Structure 1
Amino acid sequence: MKQRSLMTLGALLLTLFLAACGGSPGNTAEKTSGISVPVNETDFHIDSAVTSFSPGTRYHFVVTNNGKTAHEFMIMPSSQGSMGGMSMGDMDHMALASLGNVKPGETKTLDYTFPSSSAGSHPELACYLPGHYEAGMKQSVAVTS
């Protein structure tokens, strides 16, 4: 009985501590997910609300496909141009981060932190599904120091 009372008291103290610190399951998720970056994909365009990023900052990309066909979302280290002869697996290995197959009407999220070594670089947001990049699904961004 004494052990049960101690456990109840411990749970109560933990709850009060979290409340005093502003912690709750909802707030914790917001704090750990980083700066929200809305990205809109359409047929055949990528539009990111943020185009300048800081190394060491965690970004939470919220990618919504508002097009009528499936797309992907890749953060490439720099503009790669058309990579028609390269396999999707090779492109995935080159990508800093990626989301595969974002269906029409679907939203997917991706957390990414640009490393300090990327300061001064110009990565590219892109979709490399066949013909999509060539049709304009790319956006140059910058990582500033």
Structure 2
Amino acid sequence: MKHQIGLIGLFTLALLLLSACGGREGSTATPAANAVQVQVKEADFTISSSVTSFTPGTTYHFVVTNNGATTHEFMIMPKAEGNMSGMPMGEMDKMALASIDTINPGETKTLDYTFPSSAANSHPQLVCYLPGHYEAGMKQDVTVKAS
């Protein structure tokens, strides 16, 4: 019995740590302490970000609003990947640094993400890879500068 309680406690702790790190799925959670807020606006078919230059080790609180009439997603890709039509969405998700799967029209979702030091001097891209969206212009080039 004590062993089962210990395992449940470890599992709960692991879930809390994973959610505190942020990165995979968006929510409307409270931002991490000292997080830099980033306003991201999605429309049909554009993405614009209030911040385009990021610093490794700094936590960013992405507030993503869909101002369009179509459902979108939000992904932070490690670099410009170009047109990936035909690639299964699960494979794209594995490549993403962070993502929000579905943002309906008029909806706002958030996620916290911290670029690692290994991302210094890189050029990630904020994108929507729903079919045809990237090709229609749903991409924003950004930079991760050296600390």
Which TM-score band (shorter chain)?
0.7 to 0.9
Gapped regions of structure 1 (runs ≥ 5): 1-28
Task: Show the counterpart of 2:144.
Answer: 143
Task: Show the counterpart of 2:21.
Answer: none
Once the two structures are superposed, the pairs formed by residues 22-61 of structure 1 within 5 Å of their partners are: 32=33, 34-61=35-62
Between the two proteins, the alignment pairs up a number of residues equal to 117
Structure whose CA Rg is larger: 1
Quote how far apart the aligned CAs of 1:33 are.
5.9
Q: Relative to structure 1, is the Cα distance of residues 133 and 31 closer, same or farther in structure 2, using a 3 angstrom cutoff?
A: closer
Task: Show the counterpart of 1:126.
Answer: 127
Q: Relative to structure 1, is the Cα distance of residues 30 and 82 closer, same or farther in structure 2, using a 3 angstrom cutoff?
A: closer
Task: Show the counterpart of 1:80.
Answer: 81
Greater relative contact order (Cα < 8 A, sep 6+):
2
Q: Relative to structure 1, is the Cα distance of residues 87 and 35 closer, same or farther in structure 2, using a 3 angstrom cutoff?
A: same
Quote how far apart the aligned CAs of 1:63 are.
0.0
Task: Show the counterpart of 2:64.
Answer: 63
RMSD, aligned CA? 1.1
SS in 1 for 2:33: helix
Identity score, percent: 67
The residue type paired with residue 101 of structure 1 is T
SS in 2 for 1:86: coil
Runs of 4+ off more than 3 Å: none
Q: Relative to structure 1, is the Cα distance of residues 31 and 127 closer, same or farther in structure 2, using a 3 angstrom cutoff?
A: closer
1:102-138 Cα offsets, whole Å, 9 max, x none, are 0000000010000000000000000000000000000
CA distance in 2, matches of 1:110, 1:31: 10
Gapped regions of structure 2 (runs ≥ 5): 1-29
Q: Relative to structure 1, is the Cα distance of residues 43 and 94 closer, same or farther in structure 2, using a 3 angstrom cutoff?
A: same
Quote how far apart the aligned CAs of 1:100 are.
0.7
Contact 1:33/1:111 (CA < 8 Å) preserved in 2?
no
CA distance in 2, matches of 1:42, 1:69: 8
Q: Relative to structure 1, is the Cα distance of residues 30 and 109 closer, same or farther in structure 2, using a 3 angstrom cutoff?
A: closer
Higher helix share: 1
Task: Show the counterpart of 1:7.
Answer: none
SS in 1 for 2:93: helix
1:19-43 Cα offsets, whole Å, 9 max, x none, are xxxxxxxxxx566261000000000
